[in-house]
Structure formats: C-alpha cells, structure tokens
Structure 1
Amino acid sequence: MGIASHGGLDDRRLVRARALTLAWLAGAVVTSVLMPGVGVIREPRPTWIVLGSIGTLCFAVTQAGVLYGAVAPGGVRGRPGWTAAFVIATGLSIALVGPVAAGSWQSWAWIGAAVVGTLPVLLRPRWVVVAAAAVCVIGAAVASLTGGQARQALVIVAVIGAGLAVVNVSVLWLWRVIADAQAGREAIAALAVSEERLRFAREVHDILGHTLTVIALKAELLERRTSAARPAPPDAAGGTDGVRDSSEAAEIRRLAASALEEMRAAVAGSRYVELADEIDALRRVLEASGVRCTVRVEGDPAGRRLATLAPIAREAVTNVLRHSRASWCEIALMTVDRRTVLMVRNDGAAHGATHRDSASGGLAGVRERLREAGGVLTIIQDDDTFELRAELGGAA
C-alpha cells in the first residue's frame, strides 16, 4: 500500500508540474495574440482587420499546439501535423498580418518574435540560429515593404524573440528534468521488481525443491524397506499391514514427486525476465541519468533463451553508469553469422573509472553466465569508447 500511494503522489506531482509548465507556455501564446492585436485595433481598413485577426488567431492556435506537444508524451516529433500547421500559419501570417497598421505598428514583427521563441522547440540547436536569422530578415523585409522601420522590426524579432526562446527552453528543460526523473524512478522500480522476482524464484527452487526431493527419496526408501520387511502373503494379518504401509509410502513418494514437478513448473516462469522489457527499462534509466540512449533490435527478442542476456544487459548498463562519464550509449541486439549478439557501447570510458575486465566481479559473473549458456564475452576499449559484446550460439 505504501508503494502504491507513493506512486500516486509522484503521478499527482507530475500532473501539477505539467499543468504549471503549460500555464507558463500559455503566456507566450497570449503574447502572440495581444501584441499583433494592437495592430489590428489600430488598423482603419475593415478588410485588413478581418484578415489580420484570422492570421493572428491561426498562428496562435498552431503555436499553442506545438508548445502543448512539447510536454505531451512523444514530444513535438510525435505530432508532425501541428508542426506542419505552424509552418503554414507562419507563412500565411506574413501576407495576412504584415500589412496591418502599416507604418504605425510592427504587427508582423511580433509574430516573428513568437516564431523565434518557438524555434528551439522544433529544431536542433545548430539549425535554430539559421532559422532565427531567416526570420529576422523576413521581419525587416516586411517592415520595409509596408512602410515601417526595418531596424525597429529587426530589434523586436531578434531581442524579444531571443527572450521568449530563453524562457521557453528553460521551462521545457525543467519539465523534462522532472519527467525524466519520474521515468527513471519507474524504470528502477521495474528493475528492482524483476530482480526480487528472480531472487525469490531461486530461493524457492533451491530450498523448497531440495526439501521436496528429500521427501520423495525418503518415501521411496521407506517403500522399499516396508516391502522387504513384510514378505508375508497378502492373506496374513501382518502381510496386509505391510502392503498397506508400502502403498502409503508409495503414495507419499508420488505426491512429493508431483509437488516437485509443479513447483518447478511454477518457478520456471519466474526465473527469467523478457529481454525486450529489460532493454526498455535500461533505456529509461540511462535517459533519466542524462545519457542519450539508442536501441536497435533485430527480430523478436522474446523467449527464455534470449532471456539469458537480460542480466548481462543490466550489468553492462550498470558499468556504464558507475565506471564512465558517458554522454551516449547504444544497445543493440543483432544476428551475426547465426549467432545472437548483444552489444552495449558507450563513450566517456577515458574520463571515468576504467572498465577493468579482470578486476570486475560483475563482468566475471557475466562471463560465467555466458559460459553456462554456451556463449562468449568480448570487451573492446578504444580510447574513449567502451564496448561489451555478449554472443550466444544459434540465430535469434
């Protein structure tokens, strides 16, 4: 009950943090409406009042969709429709809002500032500067063509846009830190549950299995002794007792053997963790720790045979977090020459504690697990890059 309530508390905190982030980002959308709206109010021509209002509202709606997508599951890249709509609305706003209040108010310059403030949400950092420079040029050109001051428009687009970008990036960065921390807690909890399940299965198998085996052997021995000690015919009184005792001992032996088989069948399903689930949990742990993680899986990673690689993947990722200063990590499951290969590769090996193969008890355990499964472990370190390859015979 305590764990469940703690998880619920974390979920409520995450919901509140997301609501606060959205409320903060809503301020940027409001700015996209209010400042160009001043130009609409100053515009004396009814036609341009209507067109300017349409252009401003379309831009604000699509900007809101993009910013909302940034804090939704999957991020902006998971909602390409909003991104396309935002680009189209921005292009239309040049024609619809640019001429509004021409010469008296920089209507489109404020739209341009909102565009610059939204660019970090859509683009990678190296493209943000290029796109922002293009928007600044467009803002100056619109002001010149509509009788406004190009320098003033350039200042609004560049300075106000940069300020909005800093605010948006800061808020989204804080949100992602909170979301990653929550995802990391969930992934660590899932790994802990898997580890406890494996430990419990091992103990049940070792302790209870041993006890049931002893009971079965004792019952078999009692059955033999009873049969040997009571050789009298069945119609004799003592012989009847001997047959009954032998039958009871045989029944005890059968029950113990049946219980042992049922216990082994029940434990067998708990003694392995699906490799796909383990890799997904490890990816979330790495990303929550600030390590960019790429996963490549060929084929179906299900089955008990491939589950042998699950604890090996866990140990490899543990080494990445403990013994390196990794900024990225790649986890791949592939088939090479009809052998299944699990590869975990990361950078930062030269700046952190070295992955000492001979001294690492964890890697020694990995070698032992692979040896028992007929596999082999290979360690490759090239300056700053460390690679662990675990191979199992036969295709996946």
Structure 2
Amino acid sequence: MSDPVTANLTAHVVILGAGHSGGTAAALLRQYGHEGRITLIGEEPIAPYQRPPLSKAWLKGEADADSLALKPLEFYAEHNIDFRPSTRAVSLNRGAKTVALSDGSQLAYDILILATGARAIALPIPGAELEGVMFLRTAADAEQLKATIGPGKRLAVVGGGYIGLEVAASGRALGAEVVVLERENRLLARVACETLSTFFKAYHEQHGVVFELSANVEAFVGADGNGHVTGVRLGDGRAIPCDAVVVGVGATPNDELARDCGLTTARGVVVDLEARTSDPAIFAIGDVSHRPMPIYGRMFRMESVPNALEQAKQAASAIVGRPAPPGEAPWQWSDQYDLKLQIAGYAFDVDEILVRGDPASNKFAVFHLKGDLVQSVEAINSPPEFMMGKQLMLGRKPVSKARLADPSISMKEVAA
C-alpha cells in the first residue's frame, strides 16, 4: 500500500543532486504520470550524465558531455522539469519543508529526494593542495586530467581499486608512464579476491604499469615556486617523480544535509525498500543512501549505476503510488584495456571461492559461495557466467559445485 503522504500526483518534488540517480528520478516521475512541479538542483554546470565513462572513454577523447548526457538538455524544459545547474542545497528545514540554496533563495517542497551522491576522499597529508593533485568524480575532473596526461608524462595513481586501475589503463592508452601506489599488499584488497588481484596486476604490468604495493604515501611534493606537484614521497623515504597525481582511495557520502536536519544516518542516509528515509516526505537514492539488501539480510551503501537506477525506480514508484518494482541483484562493471569485468553481488559471509575457467585465457569467473548458494560472481570476459550467476544469486537457488567448476557444462545447464 503506498503511503498517503506521497501518493500525490500534484505534489512539488524537489530533487537535490543531478547525478545518475537524481536525473533518472526526475525523468521517471514524468514517465510514471506525475503532474506536479519537479525541481532538479544540480551542483555541476551541465545536465545529468553517465559517470563511469569518465575514467575510460572521456579520458581517451571518445566521449564528451553531450554523448554522455542521460537526456538532451531540452528534455527537462519539454517535460516541465525545472533544472537548476550550478546550484546546491546548504540546509534543510523539515518542519517548514524548505531547502535553502547556495544562491540565497529558499525552495518549498512537498516531497524531497536526496540524490547528493558521494565525494572523493582526500588524503590529509602535506602537499594535498598542490596543482596537479586530482580526483576523478566529475566531468570537470576528467577534463583536467585529460589535459594533463599524454606521451612523455608521468602519472602517479594513489589507490589500487577499480577507479585507480581504470585510470592507469587510460593513462597507458594515452602514452603516459603510470605508477600505481597501493597501501595494502595487494590490489583491490577491499573489493575483490586474491585471484582477481593477481590477474589484474599481471595484466597491467604487461601493459607497462608499475606497481608499488604496501606503499604508505606520506606527502606530495612540488618544485619551489610553481605550486605544481612533482612527486610523491613514500614512508620509506623514496620520492616517486610525476607530472600529475590521481587520488582514488574511496568516497564518502554527502549526507551532511540529512545529518544536520536529524534524519537517521549510518555511513549514508538510512532508507527502506521504497528509498524512504526516517521522514516519510523525504527519500534518498544512489551513493548517499544506506539501503536494505534483502538477498543478504543486511544494510549496505552501494556505489553503482544499477543501484542508482533501482532506487530511482523505487522512489518514483512510491511517490506516484505505483506498485514497488521487483527487487534486483546488485551489480557493477569495470573496463580495463580489452577486459570487461562484470560483478554481481557482494562477497558477504562467504566460505568458499570457486574459479571457473582459466585466468591465463583472460576469460574466467570467480564464484563466491556460502554453502551451495552463490553470494557473488566476478566474471572476466564471461557474460554467461555473469548473467546466470546473477540469476542464481537473486533466486537463492542451490548450485552443484562440481558442475559449476566444469567449464564444459554450460551455465544454463548449471543453473537448470
């Protein structure tokens, strides 16, 4: 049963954040028949766009703001969506149902959607303010990095996660020398198993990337007078020379607005399966939300496009009084060189890891199992393993480990 507070097709819906989740929510509300005002507040100067290609196609000059836009700019005016770029919310008054904006104005809402996303974590070390020390979260970040790296340039990437590795691959494609500095003793330590870490390290090394593992970054250093980074100083005293640095050590949710106005937060804004917060008139979607994961019986904050889209559907459906959309399996992807990594699920409560296929062939999948249930699958250039693994995971269907480990048995047969 939809909540009477929000099943109102004429309500004024204000969406704070014009990223993938906020832009999608605005479009879905109109698609689902919402007739009231929709105001979309975006901090960036351009319309909502796809972020994953920033570390790949954009850096390589294969994409721009127009090609990555979720909708053409005209879409918003044509569908009576009041899109306000270069604007951000500075505070919420839940009692008065108003938002104070950075331009000094106040905006009243009936329903509010927080889609404020996350921001890159900065390293609190000397030299962090030097020119050439960059992040990769926005189109402006990508444009700055693209203008900096190229043949003969030296790029240092701090952080051996997916963003760091994608930037490294793009840097090599553009002719730059690349060194990746990772604090842990292996790549992808927080997000992937050792099989995948070993595989990606070897593949990047074949393409000329240099790795420094167990590397403690102590400072960024610059030449006297020009304020531009020239190197990275490590804990062992070595200085790694570079012309640019990309820091990719994770992101933190932009949940300050929610915390300041008393909404329930826990490493993000806590929501239910309708994406509704502790205030029934406020929803939170995308990277800023801390959401239920029914498959695993826990709460978690996800950073992925599929999650942003799923929660945009949940919120838009609840607002217009549509039935809740069916639950989806969480998934994400990473493109590096000619490798396509597709990941379904998260390796929670895993007691066995099973590799299907041969990593030496650059085509294999790693299944994470809890008993005979698939918790997660990481598939390299293996779409059937990804697709069927996702189905097995979502359906909580027991699987034969012997059949799963045998690549001569098709994934359809394994899942049957």
TM-score (norm 1): 0.20
Higher RCO structure, 1 or 2 (CA under 8 Å, sep 6+): 2
Higher strand share: 2
TM-score (norm 2): 0.19
